[in-house]
Amino acid sequence: MKLLSDIGEHGFIRLLRKKFPMAAAGDDAAVLSSLKTPVVTSDSFFEGTHFFRWWTEPDKLAKRLLEATLSDIAAMGGEPNCVLASVMLPPDIEVQWLLDFYEGLTSRSDCPVVGGETIKGQLFGITLTAIGECGDKKPLLRSLVKPGDSIWVSGPVGRSLNSPELLQKGKINALTKLEQEQIELFFTPVARFDLLPVLRSCGVIAAIDISDGLFSECGHLARESGLKITIELEKVPQVPYSKSKPLKGCGAGEDFELLFALPPTAPEPGNGCYKIGFAETGSGVEVLRFGKTEKVVLSGYDHFF
């Protein structure tokens, strides 16, 4: 079993460049072709805070972190271009685990890893900086929702509800089929680049991805656009595990679906999208269940609480 301390930083980087497509890497900085209307995002993930290595196979974990980061590019209406991966590595981490992790990190042919940084640390952590571009099209913004717009979501929410707890439970007891399906959904989000042509053709100009919870993201749209958003809870699609607890499913976050506003005269997008509410003059977010107001927590995930 070869450890990182056996080959060192430079040996590890040489191994990565030999094994994975990193043609733009190798100099002090990556040289990219000209981008038109670039969009850039960065996400950090640390073991013990955002994940544990024992949760799943390293390539599957890497794919999840990559798609979570790229989801921000999709929410802006951009197409992926490349990603920078800066890793903090403990010396006793297994080299094969790292190679398997990078197998997942380099799994998208439309988004190669073009550089990054490698440093020593007590825990495994990674910061992904994703770069995309909108080309001749304008970015989708949170601030462009208009009164009269309908509010839509690109797919079911609730995929992260209780998932870490289920993973812990699975170490001791057998999980039900429903619980196993929930864990699989948790590990396999997909940034919704596939929907962008449809949304563009429907005239969508305002969007956000669901990372901190549906209600929280609605709050961002309402605040940035200076209006009120009403959500009809019974219309919000849920993954099977959260159907019996829709309020919690809406608040769980890490769905990485798109939440977007559709102009009143626009054609409906179809493609598995669901109309879940509407925007009007006012402020804040109201959640209705069959016409009656529900008390909900709108704050979503917060790193410091």
pLDDT tens string 223-264: 999 999 999 999 999 999 999 999 999 999 999 999 999 999
Whether residue 169 is predicted with pLDDT greater than 50 in this model: the reply is yes
Percent of the chain with pLDDT over 90: 82
Q: What pLDDT score does 21 carry?
A: 67
Q: Parse the chain into domains and list their residue ranges.
A: 4-133, 142-294
What pLDDT was estimated at residue 215? 96
Whole-prediction pTM value? 0.93
Strand order through the sheet with 292-294: 206-209, 258-262, 150-153, 274-280, 228-232, 284-289, 292-294
Please give the pLDDT value at position 305: 45
CATH superfamily membership of 4-133:
PurM-like, N-terminal domain (3.30.1330.10)
Judging by DSSP bridges, how do beta strands 228-232 and 284-289 pair with one another? parallel
CA distances from 295 to 124, 233, 249 (A): 39, 12, 15
Q: Is the pLDDT of residue 301 over 60?
A: no
Segment 166-171 mean pLDDT: 93
Q: 224, exposed or middle or buried, with CB in 10 Å at 0-12, 13-18, 19+?
A: middle
Residue 25 has pLDDT above 80, yes or no: no
Q: What is the pLDDT of residue 33?
A: 80
Residue bearing tokens 């929907």: 195
Could you read off the pLDDT of 72-115 as tens digits, one per residue? 999 999 999 999 999 999 999 999 999 999 999 999 999 999 98
Q: 142-294 domain in CATH 3.90.650.10?
A: yes
